[in-house]
Amino acid sequence: MAKIAATEAPFARQMLMTGLITRVLEDRGKPAPVLIRGLALSYYTREVYFTADIDLAYVDGDALDAALRELDFVKKGRYWIHEGLDMAVEAPASGLAGENAPRETVEIEGGLRCLVIGLEDLIIDLMNACKHWKPAVDCEMAELLIVRYREELDWAYLERRAALPENDTLAELRTLKDREAP
């Protein structure tokens, strides 16, 4: 905790906390949570996007709640708040689509690590938000990720996910895929 408190950069602090939450859960024989939404976007955009909280997907809400309490977080509404570190954690998802969905393991200093939602799944999440709720930032970030990682993306996986009825974003994905890189 002292390392997190002494770290000035918000992104680095959030990643350290995610690594610490992961360690507490794994020390209890539980799987690692998966970092989703804003902090995952911040990771993949190399901090072009900033978020104020840590969003986690985790199947065992009771185990996550216990780990957060052990780390001195207090539940306030839908968030877990750490007053001393000025941090918030939310677990809006109990899991991720597909048990075999790609994830990235990020090694953090001090032997900590965390799992981040796969880039392709993050793009699908952003495209869904863009299509259904229309926040401009989600549309822009989906496009930014596609442009930045165009050659590294698993396009077959992306197109399969986009074509699913719950996503229905295949046409939009293909439009972004076919755009010329700036």
Does pLDDT of 98 surpass 80? no
Q: How confident is the model at residue 134 (pLDDT cuts 50, 70, 90)?
A: confident
Does pLDDT of 15 surpass 60? yes
| CATH 3.30.460.40 residue spans of the chain | 2-117
Question: pLDDT digits over 31-78, tens only?
Answer: 999 999 999 999 999 988 999 999 999 989 999 999 999 999 999 999
Does pLDDT of 176 surpass 70? yes
CA distance 36 to 40: 5
Please state, for a pLDDT cut of 70, what percent of the chain lies above it.
95
- 2-117 CATH pick, 3.90.190.20, 3.40.50.2300, 3.40.640.10, 3.30.460.40: 3.30.460.40
Does pLDDT of 102 surpass 90? no
Mean of the per-residue pLDDT values of the chain: 92
CA 177 vs. chain centroid, Å, equals 22
Q: How confident is the model at residue 99 (pLDDT cuts 50, 70, 90)?
A: low
The pTM (predicted TM-score) of the whole model is 0.91
Q: Which helix (H) or strand (E) holds 82?
A: strand 79-82
Does pLDDT of 161 surpass 60? yes
Sheet holding 87-93, edge to edge: 74-76, 79-82, 87-93, 54-57, 34-36, 112-117, 103-108
